[in-house]
Amino acid sequence: MKTALACALAATGLAALPLSAAQAQAIKTEPPMQEFTAEEIAAIPMPETTFDVAAANVDDFEKYFYFHREDTSFDVAYADILECDSLGSGVNYYLGADSNSISNAMTTYGPLAGAVGGMIGSMVADAIFGSSERRRVKRINIRNCMFYKGYDRYGLEKELWQEFHFEEGLSRENADVRAAKLKQQALVASGPKPTTEVLVP
């Protein structure tokens, strides 16, 4: 798998494309954190996370889980979840559509540089790994990202998990549905501390 991906990168000349200092700096620049009013937060439905742990299949917790961190505001939790979801999905979170870095890359390397995500993500990764592998990798990336930010991970039954999460393989969930469910995830992540056992990262 690594060989195939390396060949694809080499074939396009992308394997050794260096970033300029300005581009590297832009990648480190996070978007401003969105602020929510108390009324907006109160309007978000709190998902159900209570279930019979003794009757649950603990192996499912590798796929179905949620996050929580004490003393975290909703605004911060939403920003953290949005960032980790975006990075886990392979979205250019740090380089917005109007970013000068994209223009700089296009000027320096030509139109090919602007097609990296689409070409690698769609033509190579999908062909090699498929939908289920993409979902697995996304879960791992999100877990690592949220662990790095200090969140604990808790297991959940599949049916409850599906109420405020989504799985994306080769297609992307509706934007409005994504936004609503990410807000619910943030509400749980910043809400009361769960009473179930913390899982390993």
CA-CA-CA-CA dihedral for 73, 79, 82, 85, to nearest 10: -80
> Whole-model pTM?
0.70
Distance CA 122, CA 127 (A): 7
Residue 170 domain-assigned? yes
Q: Residue 35 carries which DSSP code?
A: -
Position 93 scores a pLDDT of 54
Count how many domains the chain has.
Answer: 1
Reported as a single tens digit per residue, the pLDDT across 126-150 is 555 667 888 888 899 999 999 999 9
Residues forming beta bridges with residue 152, ordered by sequence position: 68
Region of poorest pLDDT, from 24-33, 103-112, 179-188: 103-112
Position 171 scores a pLDDT of 66
Residue showing tokens 């790095």 = 148
Residue 172 domain-assigned? yes
Where in the sequence is the domain holding 79, given as residue range(s)? 2-30+39-189
Reported as a single tens digit per residue, the pLDDT across 70-106 is 999 999 999 999 999 988 887 655 554 444 544 454 4
Output the six-digit token pair for 141. Answer: 């990336």
**H helix and E strand count, the chain:** 10, 2
Under 8 Å CB-to-CB from 178, ≥6 apart: which residues? 166, 172
Whole-number percent of the chain with pLDDT over 90: 51
Residue 185 domain-assigned? yes
Output the six-digit token pair for 12. Answer: 């396009």
Residue 178 domain-assigned? yes
Q: What are the backbone angles phi and psi of residue 36, rounded to the nearest 5°?
A: -115, 145
Best mean pLDDT range from 10-14, 55-59, 103-107: 55-59
Output the six-digit token pair for 27. Answer: 């990648």
- Angle (CA) 25-27-28 rounded to 5° is 70
Residue showing tokens 């999100």 = 142
Does residue 186 carry a pLDDT above 70?
Answer: yes
Residue 194 domain-assigned? no
Distance CA 180, CA 46 (A): 11
Region of poorest pLDDT, from 7-21, 52-66, 187-201: 7-21
Position 168 scores a pLDDT of 76
Distance CA 101, CA 96 (A): 9
Does residue 35 carry a pLDDT above 80?
Answer: yes
Does residue 120 carry a pLDDT above 60?
Answer: no
Q: Which of 185, 128, 151, 91 is nearest to 1 (CA)?
A: 128
Q: Strand, coil or helix: what is 121?
A: helix
